[in-house]
């Protein structure tokens, strides 16, 4: 696999251009082209420079090979990478802008029992440029004049972002760089299954992204039934790390809680959540389980989801049920890729 030019910051691109004996302004042309989602071969630079770059760098490291459009405006993409691996992403349209969900790894090694991304384990980390290029190509598709196509980004696709820490942090720096696509960290949410030491590290980076933690249970024993990572880090340690993150960044944190029938949505669970979270600067985002065939876990009805939310709000928590978008286009969280790998005709 060749290198990924989108891994580089503008300053690094400048050094590269100079080291190839080119004038500095070529770096700007190159950078502007890349940030518009262009292939190297389509950027207006001298052919000698193009040729030398293409010897070492991928022309198109992330390519959309399939798009599924929902009646609600949501679009799902299957991307291919230059080594033949595939990942998926989603663009959701809201009143305030377009939110893109990106993947950070091919597969995942966290092993959560409800999740399709982890079925085949971790294949490899994505480079920072492969994460960025997902946004660049989708942004290019949806930009209109000066209006950016992608205004918000969530790291909630395949993979555990904090298990690919260095590349994810580089991605966050590069996507929020002023001369590039310039998505502010405040418009970016990073979702983690709760890798506690990495949450402390992230708090030091000076990148105030929204921190989202997948909780899904109220006790460590219960959590360990569906999330193996619970054997390594306790809920108590997670809460302390979140409090530290809030102290450092001033950002309210969010807990994701996917409702699984018979597993985590009784009145006791609602009370357990209230006991854990009451008075903390956080929000609970209830997610309706996307049933993954191989997993055998069941979703709850909308009525049950809203009753659970009501119990939380009655108990003093801030909670909402996540709007379900794109339900007519092949589920969520790795299901598109899993279907593709199984040879389903999507």
Inter-residue contact 22 to 13 (CB < 8 Å): no
Query: What are the CB-based long-range contacts (under 8 Å, 24+) for 67-76?
Result: 68/326, 68/329, 68/330, 68/336, 68/346, 69/329, 70/325, 70/326, 70/327, 70/328, 70/329, 71/328, 72/325, 72/326, 72/328, 74/325, 74/326, 74/329, 75/138, 75/326, 76/326, 76/329, 76/330, 76/336
Closest separation in Å from C-beta 114 to ligand SAH: 5
CB closer to ligand SAH, 264 vs 290:
290
Closest separation in Å from C-beta 322 to ligand SAH: 9
Q: How many residues bind ligand SAH (CB under 6 A)?
A: 16
Closest separation in Å from C-beta 253 to ligand SAH: 12
Residues from 323 through 342 that contact ligand SAH (CB under 6 A): 333
CB closer to ligand SAH, 106 vs 156:
156
- Residue identified by tokens 């009525």 is 303
Inter-residue contact 17 to 50 (CB < 8 Å): no
CB closer to ligand SAH, 31 vs 340:
340
Among 100, 152, 192, 218, binds ligand SAH (CB under 6 A): 192
Nearest one of 33, 53, 51 to 43, comparing CA atoms:
33
CB closer to ligand SAH, 299 vs 307:
299
Q: How many alpha carbons lie under 13 Å from residue 110 in its C-beta half-sphere?
A: 28
Among 31, 114, 171, 340, binds ligand SAH (CB under 6 A): 114
Is 101 one of the annotated active-site residues of the chain? no
Is 14 one of the annotated active-site residues of the chain? no
Closest separation in Å from C-beta 21 to ligand SAH: 43
Give 300: exposed, middle or buried? Use CB within 10 Å, 0-12, 13-18, 19+.
Answer: buried
Among 99, 170, 187, 290, binds ligand SAH (CB under 6 A): 290
d(CA 200, CA 22): 41
Closest separation in Å from C-beta 163 to ligand SAH: 8
Among 258, 284, 311, 312, binds ligand SAH (CB under 6 A): 258
> Is 156 an interacting residue with respect to ligand SAH (CB under 6 A)?
yes
> Is 17 an interacting residue with respect to ligand SAH (CB under 6 A)?
no
Nearest one of 74, 1, 85, 83 to 337, comparing CA atoms:
85
Q: Please write down the HEC assignment for all residues of 211-263.
A: EEEECCCCCHHHHHHHCHHHHCCCHHHHHHHHHHHHHHHCCCEEEEEEECCCC
Among 6, 210, 214, 217, binds ligand SAH (CB under 6 A): 214
Contact region for ligand SAH (CB under 6 A) — 9-17, 185-193, 197-205, 312-320?
Answer: 185-193
CB closer to ligand SAH, 292 vs 325:
292
Show which residues are catalytic. 88, 333
Contacts to ligand SAH by CB under 6 A: 112, 114-115, 156, 160, 191-193, 214, 256, 258, 287, 289-290, 292, 333
């Amino acid at each position: 696999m060749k290198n990924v030019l989108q891994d580089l910051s503008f300053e690094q691109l400048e050094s590269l251009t100079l080291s190839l004996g080119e004038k500095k302004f070529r770096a700007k042309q190159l950078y502007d082209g890349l940030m518009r989602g262009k292939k190297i071969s389509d950027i207006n630079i001298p052919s000698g420079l193009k040729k030398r770059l293409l010897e070492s760098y991928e022309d198109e490291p992330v390519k959309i090979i399939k798009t599924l459009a929902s009646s609600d405006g949501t679009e799902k993409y299957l991307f291919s990478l230059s080594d033949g691996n595939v990942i998926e992403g989603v663009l959701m349209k809201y009143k305030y802008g377009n939110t893109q969900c990106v993947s950070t790894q091919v597969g995942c090694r966290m092993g959560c029992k409800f999740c399709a991304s982890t079925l085949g384990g971790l294949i490899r980390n994505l480079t920072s440029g492969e994460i960025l290029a997902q946004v660049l190509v989708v942004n290019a598709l949806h930009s209109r004049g000066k209006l950016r196509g992608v205004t918000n980004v969530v790291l909630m696709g395949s993979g555990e972002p904090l298990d690919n820490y260095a590349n994810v942090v580089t991605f966050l720096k590069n996507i929020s760089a002023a001369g590039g696509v310039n998505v502010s960290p405040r418009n970016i949410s990073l979702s983690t299954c709760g890798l506690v030491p990495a949450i402390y590290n992230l708090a030091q980076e000076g990148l105030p992204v929204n921190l989202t933690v997948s909780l899904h249970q109220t006790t460590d024993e219960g959590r360990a039934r569906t999330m193996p990572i619970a054997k390594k880090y306790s809920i108590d340690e997670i809460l302390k790390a979140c409090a530290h993150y809030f102290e450092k960044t001033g950002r309210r944190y969010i807990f994701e809680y996917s409702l699984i029938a018979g597993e985590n949505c009784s009145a006791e669970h609602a009370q357990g959540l209230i006991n854990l979270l009451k008075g903390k600067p956080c929000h609970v985002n209830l997610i309706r389980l996307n049933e993954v065939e191989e997993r055998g876990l069941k979703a709850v009805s909308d009525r049950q989801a809203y009753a659970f939310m009501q119990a939380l709000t009655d108990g003093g928590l801030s909670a909402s049920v996540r709007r379900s978008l794109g339900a007519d286009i092949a589920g969520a969280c790795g299901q598109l890729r899993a279907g593709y790998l199984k040879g389903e005709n999507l």
